[in-house]
Amino acid sequence: MSDGLTTTAAASAAVGVFKIALGVEYKGSRYRGFQRQRAGVPTIQESLEKALAKVAGGVPVTLSCAGRTDALVHASAQVVHFNTPVERSMHAWVMGANMNLPGDISVTWAKSMPAHFDARFCAQARRYRYVIYNDQIRPAHMAEEVTWNHRPLDVERMREAAKAFIGTHDFSAFRARQCQAKSPIKTVHHLELLQHGRFIVLDIRANAFLHHMVRNLAGVLMTIGAGERPVEWAQEVLETRVRRTGGVTAHPYGLYLVQVDYPDEFDLPKRYLGPHFLSGLPDVAADA
C-alpha cells in the first residue's frame, strides 16, 4: 500500500470506521442476480452480507459492488466494499466469509481502503467474457457455466463483425427495455473473439455497460457466425438504435464479469483472468 493510502486508511481506523474492499467470484446459476431483492429471493449480495455479518460478530454489513450482474450471470473478479466499525484482519475477513458462504460463492482477497474508495464509482472500466461451447451435442458438463450453440460458428466472420462495436457509440440497439442507465453512449475499449478447441470466448472491455448489452452483442455475433446474417448486419443494427432489430438476447449462463479497473493509487490485488477453467488454455489465458 502506498504511503497516501496507508495514511488515509489509518485515519479511517482512528475514527472507528474501517472500509474494506473484497474480491469475489461466484457461479450465478441459482441466484437472481447480485443485488439484494425481496425476502426469499436468492441473491449474491444477501449471501455475502449474511456471511460477513457473522465474521463481524453479528454487526450488519451492507455491500456496494462494481457491477450488479443479472440473474444467472457469473463473476470471477467482482469487487465490493463495505464500511464497518468492527476490526478484523484481512485474512479473517476472507477465511471467515468463506466458512459461512455456500460453495458457489468465494471471497478471494480483502484489503483495507481509504474513505474515498467506492467499488462502483471509482471503477474506470469493466471487462466481461462470454463463453460459448460450439458443438452439435449439448454439454453434460458445465452446462450452466457456458452457453451452448449447436450451429457451427465462423469465428473469422464474428471477428470482422465485432469491429463495428469498438469505440464510442450509441448502443441503444443492444439495451434492454428495463435498462436504467442515463445514457446509451458507451466506449468499448476492446472486443476480441478468442478460440480454443470448441470454446469461443467473446472478450470485451468498456468504460461501462448497458443492461444486457454483452448478451445482445453476443446474440448478433453468433447469428453472423452461423451465416444467418451478413457481416455488415452488425453495423446496421448498431445504427438503427432500436433494440428489436438485434434479434434474441443470448443466454446468461456464459457471461462472466472478469475484471474491474481502478486508478493505480488503490493498488488492488490482481488474479488471473477468469473464468478459472480457461486459465490454462494458451489461446485465451493471456491478458489481451
- Sorted by where each starts, the structural domains of the chain and their CATH numbers stand as 18-122 (3.30.70.580), 125-256 (3.30.70.660)
What is the band of 283 on the pLDDT scale with cuts at 50, 70, 90? confident
Looking at residue 39, its pLDDT comes to: 86
Mean pLDDT across the chain = 93
Catalytic residue among 70, 154, 261, 287: 70
Given a cut of 50, is residue 1 above it in pLDDT? no
Given a cut of 70, is residue 261 above it in pLDDT? yes
Residue count of the chain: 288
Looking at residue 284, its pLDDT comes to: 80
What are the residues facing 24 on neighbouring strands? 78, 107
Instruction: Average the pLDDT over 163-178 and give the result.
Output: 95
Looking at residue 12, its pLDDT comes to: 58
Looking at residue 281, its pLDDT comes to: 83
Looking at residue 177, its pLDDT comes to: 86
Is 31 within any annotated ligand binding site?
Answer: no
Q: Are 50 and 62 in contact (CB under 8 A)?
A: no
CA-wise closest residue to 123 among 84, 175, 79, 77: 79
Percent of the chain with pLDDT over 90: 84
What is the band of 13 on the pLDDT scale with cuts at 50, 70, 90? low
What are the residues facing 110 on neighbouring strands? 22
Q: pTM for the full model?
A: 0.93
Could you report the per-residue pLDDT of 56-108, keeping only the tens digit for each?
999 999 999 999 999 999 999 999 999 999 999 999 999 999 999 999 999 99
What is the band of 180 on the pLDDT scale with cuts at 50, 70, 90? confident
Could you report the per-residue pLDDT of 235-259, keeping only the tens digit for each?
999 999 999 998 889 999 999 999 9
Residue 287 falls in the annotated catalytic set: no
Here the cell at position 174 is: 443492444
Task: Give the orientation angle of helix 44-55 with respect to helix 90-100, to 10 degrees.
Answer: 120
